[in-house]
Amino acid sequence: MGFDWPLSPVWLVFGACVFGVALFFHGRALLEATIPRFAWKLIALRALAGAIFLLLLSRPYVDTEEPATNEFRLLALADLSGSMEVRDDRGGLKRIEQVGPHLDWSDSVSWVSRQTAKYGKVEKLGFALDASRLRSQSWSRPELGEKTALGDVLERALQDSEGQSPLGSVVVFTDGRNNSGKPVLEVAKSFRSRGIPVNVVGVGKMKARGDLSVRFSDRKPKAVAKEELLLECEATNLFAQTLDSAVRLSLGKKVLQEIPLKLKSGESRSISFSPLKPRSAGPQRYRVEIVVPSGDSDPSNDMDSLLVLVKPPDRFLTLYLSNRVQPLYPFVKRVLADEERFEFRSLIRMSEQVFHAFGEDLKPAYPDDPSFWMDYDSVILDMETLTDLNASLVTSLKDFVQKKGGGLLLFGPTEKGRELLGGLVPAKEVERVIAKDNLSLVTLEEPLFRPEDNVDEMKPFLPGRLPGFFVKEQNPAARGVVVSRSNGRSVLSVQAYGAGKVAYWGVPHDWRRSMSDEAGAREFRKFWQALAQWLGTGGEDRLKIEESEKPFLRGGETPLRVEALGSDFEPSMDAMVKARVTGPDGFEKTLQLYPEGSVAGRYAGSFKPTRPGAYEVSYELTFPDGEALERESYLRVSESGEEAVDVSYAERDLKMLTKLTGGEFLPVSKMNAGWEPAFAQTLPTVRKRHSLSDAWLFFVVLFLLAGLEWIMRRQVGLR
């Protein structure tokens, strides 16, 4: 402390003596004018005020040594390696997301902004295997899954400080994983020898790490529609402790079963689910998922999916529906009801209030539940009945064919069918004919019969003097299966529609064939049983998805491939194919798949998964005629490299680093904008002089003393 009095000190002493003499005579006057108790208080206040005034008049000052902020560097390092993508708490923030707010230079109240304001400049770098300038796009770098070379980065920072402004302090935001380059504690010795502290903000939590996995153990289960399906999975616990968990079996969005289990460390257990009964034939994708604890190291094996190809049932449930009695009905009933392969039911409206219902649990009335059709494998429908059904039933009939994969045989005039069902009816226009004599027909082998059925020997005919229908125009995807021998027009037109099959039959009096002779009766039976079975088996899978049991690697190109068949079951090259991918952390991406030239009907694309885990892919195919197909698939994505092997929080190593270098350790949960890191002891400094006469505190004291004296003088009646 010193004084900046511009004149000789003698003048300052002289002024003090003058003030002392004046205070002496003023005190004597006060003692005579008032009682001594108040007089001495007023004298003391006046003496104190005078002393402070003389002190300020002498202009005292204090010299301090402060760091020269423009002559040293504060270095902030942010860990951008793959392990910083980890969430220590399920549903919580990623490690890198906890660092970002503290190094946000656009936020005036963030830690880095406060340090910049105080020290002039903070050098900000992000690092994994090497360090680079920290920019806004750098925060996505952990998605690349790079290794960590903290030791190399610190050593390079120390080397770069030579010949430049010295390194005053280092602050590292990291989880402590170091799987490449020099050991961190070896580099710490160099920092210690130079007296440069390394401060650490630890990002992560100390948790037990391990792996809990589940998979379908039987990849090819036997599946038949309406029969029991047994699915099994295997759960494995690679944690160091016993865990309570549960496995869930799902079909689409619906959870079918959930089984709790308790697994010891290292235990693998086989789990059998309760028998399931698939309602219809076709591909069905089941999914099994295990509830994992926090600290699970491999999200890719927390779920497994299995595509089960459900075969047609041994018995085909067929419904005959009409609003009038047709002569054909009793013949079809006898052919199908007497055969073990078929379960036949019928519903015929006899009059306004009277119905004929044949079969178990079939009510004698038109149904009103849209799901009514879904219990059947095939339906034989008189199109005149469509006007008697409500709109929801007609709409659900389309879903029965397109989505469930059911079979539909239509007969009668097509006007009402085309109006209500649209392109579901294979025949666009038919011609009603009544011939004088039987018209000879030809049955083609495909798709109803096999070579051993000898269709060439069949002699179907359109009965003379009874009405029948020739198909004049049919859908582009439809084709004739039973055609006229003379003009080639079809009386049986078939097509695929979605996952199912549809046929139009133009010979409502085919019953005459069964009465012609014994051979005709056998032929009639074979024809109708083959037709009912073909309808009940559903269509070929028109959307084939390339499956992979092995997980894909995060960050790499993950291929998506589908093979599409048109409604004519030929490879489709003109479909529009979209794939919507959803995955962990709200990942969502819609891709357009394009034809792959090497395979007809194959569409391909790819995407880059950003996180390990299960990804759901929803495919949507749209054909030029407006038909659409949808299918879901699942794929697994796993981590790769050393960053995925161990993502534990190395708090102990980080504390040793700070202890060796003389730095400070702070968990990120306690980090705040006011935190001050430790600096080197031998930093360049600058001497600064602070004048006490500029301090407002002294003037406040003088004001208070003067005010107090004024109050006391008024109390004793002095002016």
Domain end position, chosen among 518, 536, 554:
536
**Any domain includes 260:** no
**Any domain includes 290:** no
Domain of 559, CATH number, reads 2.60.40.10
The answer to whether the Cα torsion of 88, 206, 666, 179 is positive or negative is: negative
The answer to whether the Cα torsion of 463, 464, 468, 470 is positive or negative is: positive
Domain of 525, CATH number, reads 3.40.50.880
68, with CB counted inside 10 A (0-12, 13-18, 19+), is middle
The amino acid present at 436, given as its one-letter code, is K
pLDDT at 385: 94
Low-confidence ranges of the chain (pLDDT < 50): none
pLDDT at 290: 92
Domain end position, chosen among 480, 506, 536:
536
Q: How many domains does the chain have?
A: 4
**Any domain includes 445:** yes
The rounded Cα 574 to chain-centroid distance in angstroms is 30
Residues 432 and 470 in one domain: yes
Q: Angle at Cα 692 formed by Cα 690 and Cα 693, nearest 5°?
A: 120
Domain of 195, CATH number, reads 3.40.50.410
Residues 484 and 590 in one domain: no
Residues 469 and 570 in one domain: no
Residues 463 and 325 in one domain: yes
Residues 526 and 377 in one domain: yes
Residues 53 and 101 in one domain: no
**Any domain includes 321:** yes
pLDDT at 489: 93
Residues 375 and 481 in one domain: yes
Q: Which residues contact 136 (CB under 8 A, 6 or more apart)?
A: none
**Any domain includes 299:** no
CA distances from 404 to 12, 50, 180, 538, 542 (A): 108, 103, 55, 8, 13
Range of the domain at 519: 316-536
- Dist. CA 430–CA 300, nearest whole Å: 56
pLDDT at 67: 57
Residues 503 and 578 in one domain: no
**Any domain includes 273:** no
Q: Which residues contact 606 (CB under 8 A, 6 or more apart)?
A: 557, 558, 559, 560, 591
Q: Which residue has the tokens 């069905």?
A: 284
Residues 581 and 673 in one domain: no
pLDDT at 356: 93
Q: For 476-507, give one letter per residue: b (16+ CB within 10 A) or e.
A: ebbbbbbbbeeeebbbbbbbbbbbbbbbbbbb
**Any domain includes 215:** no
Residues 473 and 519 in one domain: yes
Q: What's the token pair of residue 286?
A: 């089941």
Residues 341 and 388 in one domain: yes
Domain end position, chosen among 480, 511, 536:
536
Nearest to 444 by CA among 328, 534, 520: 534
Q: For 636-650, give one letter per residue: b (16+ CB within 10 A) or e.
A: bbbbbebbbeebbbb
Residues 51 and 175 in one domain: no
**Any domain includes 284:** no
